[in-house]
Structure 1
């Protein structure tokens, strides 16, 4: 009988090993290979996975996770509390210097491990094989949600250090799928169903992932779907009307997510080191016009950082909306910032992911409204990361954020908290606050939110933090995240978009 395989494509991930998996592509593969303490259930809410129960003490500083006794890695090694401690300490190895380490920053001893003073993470304790106790340095009543990020995954004893090319390219996990041979960089990743998976029946025998050229990847992926090579694909913005019209209903998926498309203004140096400069940019952008013209109504303009997905934490800007399209106000703010017509502003963008049209439209709008000499710097996805983390970065940079776990803390803290700038001796940023924004009032609101046990109180603190950042335009919001996908409805059923924006591989069934 022919294996039932799911065929798809993506661009080259940064990593598929849990110590470093970070963007949508890498997280797709990593979560197919590894299962953490919890999983993302309906509406992004946490559900039991390797842990069957969990909770924190009244202080919000000590969490206890009780594990199932019937889970194992692909080689048969049992998954225990020690497996989780091993994985967390491995991820914090300073030799690895992973960008995802900050997710563990609240655990006691984090700083000592990151600095290389010890390899032991003091706050992660395996009381016995099935009891994991986590002590935090500060209260965090939503720490359990953080464990949805792959950096919290368990690893087997055979994993070795984080920087191990053999394990990095062929990780051995405890998830629903296993590697079918090592990752062939620039070519493919092949997965097969894990027969030791404990989480219920999986219909797919295999997942075939082709790796595409990052410059043409989005167009090539959709063309491959139309040609019958792929069962699932993203859609280039210009093809959205066609996809919705011809593949409506079961074959077309659209999901609003907990994320944001935005511009990073580099706040640490001119020309974006003043609120007036950033307001000039924001007021010169016709978000609704671009959404209608280039995204055909499939994007919602953002007037805050937190999207409506976050419910009570979402609050659009009020009367003095710094995201309103207002050319007159834009020119006035530009002059107050000392940026008259002719001023040079760099705008870094990456190619190959469908951003070329709207980034060109934004640049042209700045030229027309403000008369600036806007210089587009084109690079690939990895080059863009290198640019925006550099001390030399100036002006603006295209960016997007897809939350790793369903709390506003995951957006506001890493992107804007002062502790997340983390430049090294050369000035290169190693945190996600790449615009180097610092505001003590925002920091304080986020600290208070982590300690609030009442949801309404947490929402108030998050709304305050969002209002501070939006007023300062610490990031310049453009559109809230909306994912559109197509899939072969004649061949497959049970396909959905998960919290990370990826296909729900464990639910796919033959049509």
Structure 2
């Protein structure tokens, strides 16, 4: 019988090593290679993984994780509490300067390691091989959720420092799959089943991932699926009706996710350094009209940062809704901001992911409603990151956020907390608050939410924080996250979209 192989495609990941894996593509590979303390279901709840049990003390500052005694890396080295401490300290190496370090920011000693004063993260303690104790600088009653992000993964002794290119390109993990040779940059990543995997049996023998040209990736991926080269693919927006019509009920998947599509307004300098400037942009966008026209009604317009996926933390917009389509209000706000017709505004966008249609439509809306000269700055995904983290970034930037774990904190804190701007000496941002938004009232609400043991009390604080940020248009929300995918239902079963928006490789079975 030939090997049972899952074939798909993606654009070049930033990293597949857990110290830096961050976007959907990198997380797909990294989570196939590594298993953390806990797992996350599609709805964001936690189940055991390498840790079989865990608990937090009443203060919300000390967490204890008890590990299984039957897990090992694909090279045979046992996974212990020391493996986790090693992985966390490696990820915080200041020479690596990884963008994902903020997930560990609550652990005692974080600042000292990041600053290079020590390489020991004092808050992460391997009491013995099977007991990991984590001490936090401040209460965080949802710290366990954070541990599903790859930066919390264990690594073997052979990992070396974070900038070890050999391990970066062929990581050795403890997950259901292992690398089948090193990452062939710009070409392919191949995985095979890990024979030492300790979890539920996996049916797939291998996973073959082609790396596509970022300029044409989305169209090429879908075309590859239609041609039979790929078993699973994303769908260009203009092809959604076709995909739903022909594959609905069979190989068509659609899931509302914990995330948001939005515009970053660079709040630290003109022209977006006032609320009126940002209101002018927001009121000039007909979200529902664009969703109907460009996404065929398969996007939900966003009138807040937290989507209905978050349940009680989501709140509908109030009477003075800054996201309502209102051309007159948009023009009045633009004049108050000193941005009359003819004003020049940069709008940075990236190619290759199906954004061209709606970003051009928004640029045209701003021109038609406000008379602005909107200049599209078109680049690839990596170029967009370089642009929006630079001190020179101004105007607007296309962005999206898919939560790493199922709590509003994971959206509100990294994207908008003042500590997450993290500019270096050159002004380059190294946190995810790339718009450089700062509001002490917003920060205080998040601090209270982290310490609150009552779920409804946390929801109150999150709704308040969301209301503050939406009022300020710290980010300009467009649509909540919806994932649509197609898969070969004649060949595969058990395919679903996971919390990260990726295929559930461990559940795939042959028909």
| Structure-1-length-normalised TM-score | 1.00
Number of the residue aligned with 1:412: 412
1:346-401 CA distance string (max 9 Å, x none): 00000110000000000000000000000000000000000000000000000000
- The answer to whether the Cα contact below 8 Å between 2:42 and 2:498 also exists between their aligned partners in 1 is no
Number of the residue aligned with 2:182: 182
SS where residue 196 of structure 1 aligns?
A: coil
Alignment: residue pair count = 511
Alignment of 1:217-256 (within 5 A): 217-256=217-256
Question: Compared with structure 1, are the counterparts of its residues 464 and 6 closer, same or farther at alpha carbon in structure 2 (3 Å cutoff)?
Answer: same
Number of the residue aligned with 2:69: 69
Number of the residue aligned with 2:441: 441
Number of the residue aligned with 1:148: 148
Number of the residue aligned with 2:261: 261
Number of the residue aligned with 1:207: 207
Alignment of 1:44-443 (within 5 A): 44-443=44-443
Number of the residue aligned with 2:452: 452
Q: Give the superposed CA RMSD.
A: 0.4
SS where residue 7 of structure 1 aligns?
A: strand
How far apart are 1:302 and its partner, in Å?
A: 0.1
SS where residue 44 of structure 1 aligns?
A: coil
- The answer to whether the Cα contact below 8 Å between 2:340 and 2:372 also exists between their aligned partners in 1 is yes
C-alpha distance in structure 2 between counterparts of 1:160 and 1:421, whole Å: 29
How far apart are 1:317 and its partner, in Å?
A: 1.0
C-alpha distance in structure 1 between counterparts of 2:48 and 2:316, whole Å: 34
SS where residue 258 of structure 1 aligns?
A: strand
1:187-209 CA distance string (max 9 Å, x none): 00000000100111100000000
Most deviating of 244-253 and 445-454: 244-253
C-alpha distance in structure 2 between counterparts of 1:422 and 1:129, whole Å: 35
C-alpha distance in structure 2 between counterparts of 1:347 and 1:88, whole Å: 37
C-alpha distance in structure 2 between counterparts of 1:42 and 1:72, whole Å: 26
- The answer to whether the Cα contact below 8 Å between 2:42 and 2:497 also exists between their aligned partners in 1 is no
SS where residue 385 of structure 1 aligns?
A: helix
- The answer to whether the Cα contact below 8 Å between 2:222 and 2:235 also exists between their aligned partners in 1 is yes
- The answer to whether the Cα contact below 8 Å between 2:72 and 2:79 also exists between their aligned partners in 1 is yes
Number of the residue aligned with 1:22: 22
| Structure-2-length-normalised TM-score | 1.00
Number of the residue aligned with 2:6: 6
How far apart are 1:42 and its partner, in Å?
A: 4.7
C-alpha distance in structure 1 between counterparts of 2:161 and 2:83, whole Å: 14
SS where residue 249 of structure 1 aligns?
A: coil
C-alpha distance in structure 2 between counterparts of 1:250 and 1:457, whole Å: 42
SS where residue 342 of structure 2 aligns?
A: coil
SS where residue 19 of structure 2 aligns?
A: coil
Structure 2 residue ranges without an equivalent (≥5): none
SS where residue 448 of structure 1 aligns?
A: helix
C-alpha distance in structure 1 between counterparts of 2:329 and 2:390, whole Å: 31
Number of the residue aligned with 2:34: 34
Runs ≥4 residues deviating over 3 A: none
SS where residue 290 of structure 1 aligns?
A: helix
How far apart are 1:250 and its partner, in Å?
A: 2.2
How far apart are 1:107 and its partner, in Å?
A: 0.1
C-alpha distance in structure 2 between counterparts of 1:316 and 1:121, whole Å: 41
SS where residue 256 of structure 2 aligns?
A: strand
Number of the residue aligned with 1:481: 481
